[in-house]
Amino acid sequence: MLTLKLISEETERVIRGLKKKHFNDAEKAVENVLAIDKRRREAQQKSDKIKQETKQLSSQVGALMKEGLKDEAEKIKVKVQNLKQTDKELQEKMENAETELRNALCAIPNIPNDDVPEGTSASDNVIVKEGGIMPEIGDDAMCHWDLCKKFNLIDFDMGVKVTGAGFPFYIGKMARLQRALEAFFLEEARKSGYLEVQPPYVVNEASGYGTGQLPDKEGQMYHCNEDNLYLIPTAEVPVTNIFRDVIIEEKDLPVKRTAYSACFRREAGSYGKDVRGLNRLHQFDKVEIVRIDTPEHSYESLKEMLIHVEGLLQKLELPYHILKLCGGDMSFTSAICYDFEVWSAAQKRWLEVSSVSNFESYQANRLKCRYRRAKDKKIEICHTLNGSALALPRIVAAIIENNQTENGIRVPKCLVPYCGFEMLDNNNF
């Protein structure tokens, strides 16, 4: 969440940023935060004054009793009790204001970096780079869902029978290719200095709150009601929460972590051709990269993460472009976000396969993720970053469609050492 200090000291910049993100009632939300904080501070000032007066009066009671002025002492005792009661009421007001303030701050999204372009929707995103060679597969090319049926690679109907739509079965060589992609992505991350962790697939409410999924996206998450736990929508949530309530020494930054996980997203209301096949699933596999860094270095970290993800797509021989998201198309928590999309040759459309974001201090403030500066030992809020490196379903869709032949699907050369075969075909063992 935004810091109260930022909202108080740079109010106009915050309002401009919220408007760039097309957040409704930006002025009203900021004014509300400042009003709540004012009430809290006024109650605090009154409480401090009462405590001081109570202390002074209490110190007189003993002296009056020694002098035999019992009635005077009793009057002061009554006054002290009344002051303590008033202070108790003020403490309750402050606690209520603290809760109200935190809720108000949590309802305000992050403000975008100055480099974020203006815009209201995906059509206003800016292509900043293109790469790869467009495949020539002919007009009779098949979409991945038909190819998967032809070569018995993925059974979507069985997934519907066992669970429901959006939970496919991967079969034989396709299951092995899934494992190969996971291993390839993790190994490439390891080579780039990311320490691998294997996180839990469910998290508690505090973790969802820390990375901003709660209270913003609870409708998109699967909730285990009895235990009040949430299935993770991405490994970003458990991995970033490793550093919740942690103070990191500056010499240990940037922290770099990677993790494979299954991801679970309800995607309520999703339907139509754009979500057919692997285009949008409720359960899918992904390798995530996470960084914790200083404010001064976080944009260098972002640049390195973009290079890393681009390198994966180049090795997979997939045509891609990189988009800088406009203010209106960014997530609630990000300060800047780049999307990577690959070309799906048979569908003739771009498919998003990665988002790489710098949240600046927004997540870290919620997480209380801080670092100790080396020069003066001062405690400061970290910057957090994360990116998909990569999400499998649409990568698999693009590989299948772009590399299709009459006899099967050619496997990218970089994956052959990991899966042990060069073609996805009817020889499925």
**312-368 pLDDT per residue, tens:** 999 999 999 999 999 999 999 999 999 999 999 999 999 999 999 999 999 999 999
Answer yes or no: do 89 and 134 share one domain: no
* Residue 237 domain flag: yes
* Residue 366 domain flag: yes
Q: Residues 200-228: what's their mean pLDDT?
A: 92
Separation between Cα atoms, residue 294 and residue 420, nearest integer Å = 42
* Residue 133 domain flag: yes
CB 278 within 8 A of CB 168: yes
Structure tokens at 313: 């797509």
Answer yes or no: do 12 and 155 share one domain: no
| Amino acid type, 248 | I
Residues near 383 by Cβ (< 8 Å), separated by ≥ 6? 292, 293, 294, 295, 298, 301, 358, 359, 360, 361, 364
Answer yes or no: do 373 and 343 share one domain: yes
Assign 3-class secondary structure to 391-428.
EHHHHHHHHHHHCEECCEEECCHHHHHHHCCCEECCCC
Would the pLDDT of 63 be above 90?
no
Answer yes or no: do 67 and 27 share one domain: yes
Per-residue pLDDT tens for 109-125?
A: 999 999 999 999 999 99
* Residue 115 domain flag: no
Residue 387's H or E segment, with its range, is: strand 383-391
Per-residue pLDDT tens for 271-322?
A: 555 789 999 999 999 999 999 999 999 999 999 999 999 999 999 999 999 9
* Residue 429 domain flag: no
Answer yes or no: do 155 and 240 share one domain: yes
Answer yes or no: do 217 and 337 share one domain: yes
Residue that terminates a domain, selected from 79, 106, 133: 106
Answer yes or no: do 174 and 100 share one domain: no
Answer yes or no: do 145 and 214 share one domain: yes
Residue that terminates a domain, selected from 106, 141, 175: 106
Answer yes or no: do 212 and 128 share one domain: yes
Tokens 């009554």 — which residue? 78
CB count within 10 Å of CB 324 equals 17
- Go through the chain and tell me how many residues it has: 429
Query: CATH no. for residue 77?
Result: 1.10.287
Answer yes or no: do 314 and 277 share one domain: yes
Would the pLDDT of 197 be above 80?
yes
Query: CATH no. for residue 250?
Result: 3.30.930.10
List b or e across 179-218, with b for residues whose CB sees 16 or more CB atoms inside 10 angstroms: ebbbbbbbebbeebebeeeebebbbeeebbbbbbbbebbe
Q: How far is CA 80 from CA 60, 61, 73, in A?
A: 11, 10, 10
* Residue 254 domain flag: yes
109 CB-contact burial (10 Å; exposed 0-12 / middle 13-18 / buried 19+): buried
Separation between Cα atoms, residue 252 and residue 397, nearest integer Å = 39
Task: Give the chain's domain count.
Answer: 2
Per-residue pLDDT tens for 394-411?
A: 999 999 999 999 999 999
Answer yes or no: do 404 and 314 share one domain: yes
* Residue 116 domain flag: no
Residue that terminates a domain, selected from 52, 72, 106: 106
Domain range holding 169? 122-424
CB 285 within 8 A of CB 315: no
**How far out from the chain centre does Cα 45 lie?**
37
Answer yes or no: do 279 and 395 share one domain: yes
Q: What is the pLDDT of residue 64?
A: 82
Would the pLDDT of 90 be above 60?
yes
Model confidence band, residue 71 (pLDDT cutoffs 50, 70, 90): confident
* Residue 117 domain flag: no
